[in-house]
Amino acid sequence: MKLRVIQSIECLERIKPIWDGHLQRAENNNPFIEFDWIFLWWSVFGQQYELFVIAIEEDEDVKVILPLMKRKGLFIEHIYFIGYGQANYMDAIANDVELAKAIEFIMQHLFNSKKPRLFHFHGLFEDSDFYFPLYQYLQVKRIANYRSMIVCPVLQLTEIQFDQYFAKRKKKHSLDRKERRLKELGAVSFEPLRKNDIEKMFSLHTKRWEEKNDTSGFSEGKTKDFFQKLLQAESAAFQTKVDALYVDDRLIAYLYGFECRTRYLFYLPAHDDDYGKFSPGRILFKQKIADCVQSEIEIFDMSIGYEPYKFDWSNETKFAARFIFPSKHSLARIFYFVYSAKARLIDSLKKNRKLVLFKRNFLGKVKSRVLKSLPFWHGGKKG
């Protein structure tokens, strides 16, 4: 085995055919590890990081690609998967190799550096090829690590009886009645987001979260720029899908997501609270699931999170792991203690639904009203 570190975007582009080929052969359905998704993410957010992609070669062929990046702090290097902050799931790109052996080879290289390093590996499914070898390596080598698991509700479409599945949920949420009442207001249509409504999509998200704490940043700054560029991205492996609900040509709800081979991955919703009593989000969700069944999509992925509506629609629960661990340097271990303690606190708070809603709704409203009262704040935007 030979290891090389790819540190320039030009060198990264040269291995695109290999990267794409590995994922195509594996029939990958995770959009976040597709080259086109990562390349676009880097073009928007990469200025604050350095490329640190690990490539393992065996018999002159690239067998494993680990899409890493690093950020240098004052005293320590932080190592992340590319896409950190926007990619919910990550993994290694590998083909025809003993991954446990390759991971040990990679970790030895990463730990041999004399620089203090802290590793943040997020979004690893328990059944991914990378998860268990990494977990085993950390245990065998007795490397201090913090591992947290976040729930990922999933609807396996191949395992449901369509009519029975919908009948139960329509009755529970009175969706048929609410949809009939919505149609009394005007012409209702379900369709892909119209091209001239892209800015309305972001405005609807801003309105929805105006008095709430929004951690996604979806409609602001570079994050907005990234998700807008994804709408124009052309990729053979994945497509960005925005499904919209209109009433008399007015956008009242949408689902932003990705389709990657056999998986639809729901990423983010928003709806107009003026129509909240009609449950437009649930109505659109119902329609999207029906469309996926018709399109022979096998997995409707609700993505990460403990929101109750995701469990309403799902029939299987998966978990994605986040690992934090230090290099051998004593300074790295000090930073690990601080970062892991912070992560433990945040993870425990996120599992308390009442605290989440208190922070999101009550504190969000207080924050919004305080900001609006300040002299430099005009119309909800900084002047």
Question: Which whole number is the average pLDDT over 265-284?
Answer: 94
Confidence band, pLDDT 50/70/90 cuts, at residue 380: very low
Of the candidates 127, 54, 60, 123, the residue with the CA atom closest to the CA atom of residue 94: 54
Residues spanned by CATH 3.40.630.30 within the chain? 161-314
Tell me the percentage of the chain whose pLDDT exceeds 90.
75
Whether the predicted model's global pTM rises above the 0.85 cut: yes
Confidence band, pLDDT 50/70/90 cuts, at residue 29: very high
- Tokens coding 183: 């149609």
pLDDT for residue 168: 79
Confidence band, pLDDT 50/70/90 cuts, at residue 377: low
- Tokens coding 328: 């051998």
pLDDT for residue 376: 56
Name which residue leads in pLDDT, 283 or 376.
283
pLDDT for residue 125: 93
**Backbone region of residue 186 per phi and psi (left: phi > 0; alpha: psi in -120 to 50; beta: other values):** left
Lowest mean pLDDT among 134-148, 201-215, 220-234: 201-215
DSSP conformation letters of 16-72: HHHHHHHHHHTT---GGGSHHHHHHHHHHHGGGSEE-EEEEEETTEEEEEE-EEEEE
pLDDT for residue 164: 86
283: DSSP letter: H
Of the candidates 281, 318, 295, 314, the residue with the CA atom closest to the CA atom of residue 30: 318
Confidence band, pLDDT 50/70/90 cuts, at residue 174: confident
Question: Which whole number is the average pLDDT over 361-378?
Answer: 66
pLDDT for residue 283: 93
Tens of pLDDT, residues 296-324: 899 999 999 888 899 999 999 999 999 99
CATH code of the region 2-151+318-351: 3.40.630
Domain 161-314: give its CATH architecture.
3-Layer(aba) Sandwich (3.40)
Statement: residue 379 has pLDDT above 50? no
